[in-house]
Amino acid sequence: MASTSPQSPDQFEDYIKDLLEKNYDYEVIKPPKGMFGYDIEIINNGKPIAVQVKKYRTPVNRAHIQKFMGFMGLHHAESQFSEGWLISSSGFSKPAIEHLRNESRENPRASVVSLGTIYQSDIRWDYLDPKSSFHTHQDSSREISLPVSSLEDYQNNIHRRYYFGIFTNKGGTGKTTVAAHLAGAFTLMGYDVILVDIDPQKNLKKLFQEDQENKDDLGAAASLYVQPLRPGQIGSVISVLDNKEWEDDKDNHNDIKIVICDCNPTFEENSNDLVKEFDYCVIPTTLNPLGIAKNSDVIKRTFEKIRTENSRAQMHVLINHYVEHKSKEKKNNLLLDLLKEQIDFNEDNKSYLIDPSICAIHRSDSLYYWGMHIVEKKKPQLGFELSGGKCVPREDFLKLAEYFRGKF
């Protein structure tokens, strides 16, 4: 068997299947395409094992571990599989391994899950659950090497991929907050999402960093596992990559349907190739006299610049920090009319002002104070916490995600 792993995710799955059959004499079953939660089923001494395979260039992050554990905890998975393995071509982040180790130690009801990396045509276990049925005969003192094979063009994506570019006009309009929480809404709808952090401040990397004790290392893994809306489902994953990480690894993420880019405020600093990929460009703005005076001209110029690079993208202006109350209705309508006077949305047949009656992001403390988890040294989170059984930001961003999904 060749010592280098194959190039595409599908080929990598076949490679793992072949390795498990030849090296360990397991019965290996590949489920039908579209089966969620696992890629391969192993029969080991009559015990079925769910195997999920990740062919990435960057280490698998903690959120992916949480998602796999969420799947293994579902009733039908518990009744079907005795344990789960997650096999990677590129290893696992330190917080990912520590999360699984702590969960196994502290939660007696946790599913049996092990993590392995392909090394020299075999599996080297980064974490082998003590209750796993696997018995290794490998030299446990061997250090892990993270093999990265050369990347070839791989265009056989199962799903259409949709790119979003979130642009700014002036500081304080909520570009990064909108990018992160739109990603969160799509995860609540069942999509895994890649957030591409192009902004030079790298705020998304900081806000989603798995190891907050090492917050100055912007090369460290950044991710979030988002719990499902309803019991009996598995959650989804937000992974944060910088532009180079995404360009190097995008063909290996053939399961990703949603990519959201937090763009550089200086338009010319954004990759032309990436701007050409955008299906939807979103510019948040505020609905107040000074906001319209400051932002309308910048929005028009941003539209023009987008159009020079991309003739097909839809361009949407989103009202952020919206105050909706009967006493404000007249003022809001006057300001909406003023914004439409300042920006001719009929000039380009793919430019839109999202009507606040359909969707707007309301002003809220949850979004205003988002990021306090860094100050309080807590794990990454979104501003989707329920209060009295409701969460206005979550409802707003789910409406926004549904608005765009209706255009897919």
Q: How far apart are CA 170 and CA 295, in angstroms?
A: 7
Report the pLDDT value the prediction gives residue 242, as an integer from 0 to 100. 93
Matching residue, tokens 């380009």? 348
State whether 115 and 226 are in the same domain: no
Among the listed residues 262, 244, 245, the one whose alpha carbon sits nearest the alpha carbon of residue 56: 245
Domain hosting 49: range is 9-127
Helix locations, 30-138, DSSP H: 62-72, 75-80, 94-106
The ranges of the chain with pLDDT < 70 are 1-7, 135-159, 169-173, 212-220
Residues 2, 87, 253, 143: is their CA dihedral positive or negative? negative
State whether 199 and 261 are in the same domain: yes
Report the pLDDT value the prediction gives residue 195, as an integer from 0 to 100. 97
| Number of domains the chain contains | 2
State whether 110 and 173 are in the same domain: no
- Give backbone dihedrals phi and psi of 126, rounded to 5 degrees, phi first: -75, -35
Task: State how far the alpha carbon of 203 is from the alpha carbons of 94, 137, 249, 369, 397, in Å.
Answer: 21, 45, 21, 14, 20
pTM, whole model, 2 decimals?
A: 0.78
Last residue of a domain, one of 105, 127, 149: 127
State whether 112 and 205 are in the same domain: no
CATH number at residue 62: 3.40.1350.10
State whether 194 and 117 are in the same domain: no
149 falls within a domain: no
Report the pLDDT value the prediction gives residue 217, as an integer from 0 to 100. 56
State whether 111 and 200 are in the same domain: no
- For every residue of 237-266, DSSP letters joined together read EEEEEEHHHHHHHGGG-TT--EEEEE--SS
